[in-house]
A and B are shown apart, each in its own frame.
Chain A
């Protein structure tokens, strides 16, 4: 039995090396190639939407051998992504690091000027998709519509109604602020380290509502333990089962109740153009794969391939949008 195990290893190692060198031989014509495993920094804790997504992308790269060297995921979720940002800043010029980002890419440097991060210095690679947000409650409650929800929050009062989310000033808290403003409701916002924990806390009735991403709640929704009330998207953007959830716009609450989470990949500052091209190539293969297309549909993501200067322009526009959101919620002056 033991022999069998070892022969399986040698086979698999041989297969791995064989495939790797095949890719090298065909695609490498004076192009840049990584010399060692690539660090794939994740700007969030384990188990949340960003983490699962990054690990899924990493698995696709491994499975289909899109890169001659593996991508090794590292979670740096501390301080709403400040840990990851300072880390990436310290890696300027290092071609073996890329980072999966979320909107804390904009908000964290705005809220903590002390960390001295300017996102325009980072090298843009690609935007893979835009993730969406829904308003969720536990399915044990009688809350079935947005009106029920508003009534329930008002009845419970701001002290008793607990909204769970990721770090203070992060996406979930901005969506919560949007919701509070729209309906004139107040809630106690409790920050957790990752969206996965937030989802679990809703099911365990530790909190009353969440604004989770689809991938964080889909398992519980399928099991009938949570209920989405409305989607923070413009109408018609989502397809698949998440497309069946009414949007705030469709429910007649206007078109200003939309918010996205960008799912992009960036690299440190000052890396050569060839390196940037290499990573664009890797992620383009991921983007075009059938698995990724299916994942976007199943997990309520809006497709959004964007690269180069246009991506930087998008980042800057989004940062300014977030500056306004943060000002409105009193997080910054």
Chain B
């Protein structure tokens, strides 16, 4: 009951006029920051950090958290509307959000994203409230072997099930892994795969460059070809009746939402993982557990719900290692951490004891931010739909400019813009040859997390691979991952068994 009291106290803090105003304002700003490709919550929080010195520390953190939350909602908007991931966390939302928009269901996709984000946010705040200190211990129990096992499971969800051509999926993953190895070796610092000695490769290949290239540019080339210049963007409309039908359909995906929320939260609390892997894994699992995995990537509403519930849950989750361990779970929380230091709030196990009002005020305002982000988001949907009604001849140059800006902003290097254009063309060709692109994106996100984890584990075990199996948590995850990988084999056996009685039976 003590926690409840603390939370009530927290709500009192969060609903002080100044703080509530900051929550609403932060959500609105965050929504637009998140919707701008290449901007994302990291930049939003960094740009607005100085402004927060004008208000008390608790209000400042509340404001930044609201931006963070708003941006998580906003990231989905450009993913769905334009097919360009607004932020790294929204890449997986593009997979099905964009096809839905093209089919004239942009409103449904946007509502699904908003509702799923709300559910993910709510569940994660509840988990945070109830289990923050014990979950911090879980994060501590996750060493390199556990981290690596988790990454293998993420890959397995993409390979194991879902009707895609397994060989082509593996090929796509390998391309992504090779690209993720470009840059400087994490352990020794030696340069690797620096093509043509271009200095731009030293910082590695930012995965947004790949994602914006293949989804933004590649998609546009595809549309131009398919339509042969006669593009009808979409028959997007929005009305109350459609809203209700959409909500009914979305409510059927509650299982996916729950899965995404819990998974996102747990991946989020692990230091170094963050919301992007969480969202991608949720998508993978939603697809592999669906009855109709083939419909994913072609506009399945569950493909929007899963990553959106997961990325919001993960963004709350990644506050946990920041507050209790002083380790940021995501780039954005790293900036929040910087702010906390100057406000005299030392992150660490004692923060929950020494700065109770701050911690619970933050948790309560996360909740308030979640609610307001939902309302603001839904209010803006008609405006977003208007964008889609623009003729393609106007929309295409806008998308193209946004892609270029989005490719440039993260590293501010023209090298990345050229690279993005090349990826766009390659992505288009891969699509023509029916190669799945999502696994390549997954690999470039997870590769840089998986590689050091594997190498640290093996240095610790002196090369003994059993380290991934003889630790309880790592072993369990590894076994699940391997089972998932073997799923296609099981399926084949089952199908053969099922079809056996077929020929013998009278039809």
Contact = CB atoms under 8 A, between A and B. Distances in A.
Interface in B86-107: none
A225 to B, nearest CB: 6
Interface string A1-36: 110111011011101100000000000000000000
B189 A73 contact: no
Contact of A219 (B25, B26, B349): B349
A47 B24 contact: no
B390 interface: no
A59 B184 contact: no
A332 interface: no
Contact of B334 (A47, A204, A207): A47
B23 to A, nearest CB: 8
B337 A47 contact: yes
Given A114-B191, A168-B187, A56 B348 contact: no
B142 interface: yes
Given A46-B331, A78-B204, A222-B350, A73 B183 contact: no
Interface in B186-231: 186-191, 199, 202-204
A180 interface: no
Interface in A164-215: 167-169, 188-193, 196-197, 199-201, 203-207
A319 interface: no
B460 to A, nearest CB: 5
A86 B325 CA distance: 32
Nearest to A76: B203
B304 interface: no
Interface string B348-366: 1111000000000000000
A62 B460 CA distance: 42
A87 B202 contact: yes
A204 B141 contact: yes
Contacts of A146: none
A87 B204 CA distance: 12
Contacts of B326: 47, 196, 199-200, 219
Contacts of B456: 190-192
Interface residues of B, number: 61
Majority DSSP secondary structure for residues of A touching B: helix
B459 A188 contact: yes
A63 B53 contact: yes
B462 A159 contact: yes
A218 interface: yes
A70 B271 CA distance: 29
B342 A63 contact: yes
B19 to A, nearest CB: 10
B348 A220 contact: yes
A223 B271 contact: no
Contacts of B141: 204
A119 interface: no
Contacts of B139: 200, 204
Interface string A263-305: 0000000000000000000000000000100000000000000
B339 A52 contact: no
A244 interface: no
Given A4-B21, A8-B22, A9-B25, A206 B144 contact: yes
Contacts of B142: 204
B145 to A, nearest CB: 9
Interface string B19-33: 011101110100000
A156 interface: no
A79 B46 contact: no
B189 A82 contact: yes
Contacts of B46: 72-73
A100 to B, nearest CB: 12
Nearest to B191: A114
Contact of A1 (B21, B54, B347, B348): B21
A127 interface: no
B328 interface: yes
Nearest to A89: B199
B143 A79 contact: no
A87 B203 contact: yes
Given A5-B21, A8-B21, A76-B203, A193 B452 contact: yes
Contacts of B272: 193, 197
Interface of A: 1-2, 4-6, 8-9, 11-13, 15-16, 46-47, 51-52, 55-56, 58-60, 62-63, 70, 72-73, 75-76, 78-83, 86-87, 90, 108, 111-112, 114-115, 159, 162, 167-169, 188-193, 196-197, 199-201, 203-207, 218-220, 222-223, 225, 291
Given A56-B342, A206-B144, A222-B350, 12 more contacts: A2-B28, A8-B21, A47-B328, A55-B337, A56-B341, A78-B202, A79-B189, A83-B204, A112-B190, A167-B188, A168-B187, A196-B327
Q: Which 7 A-B pairs have the closest CB atoms?
A: A219-B348, A79-B184, A5-B25, A55-B338, A204-B140, A206-B143, A223-B349
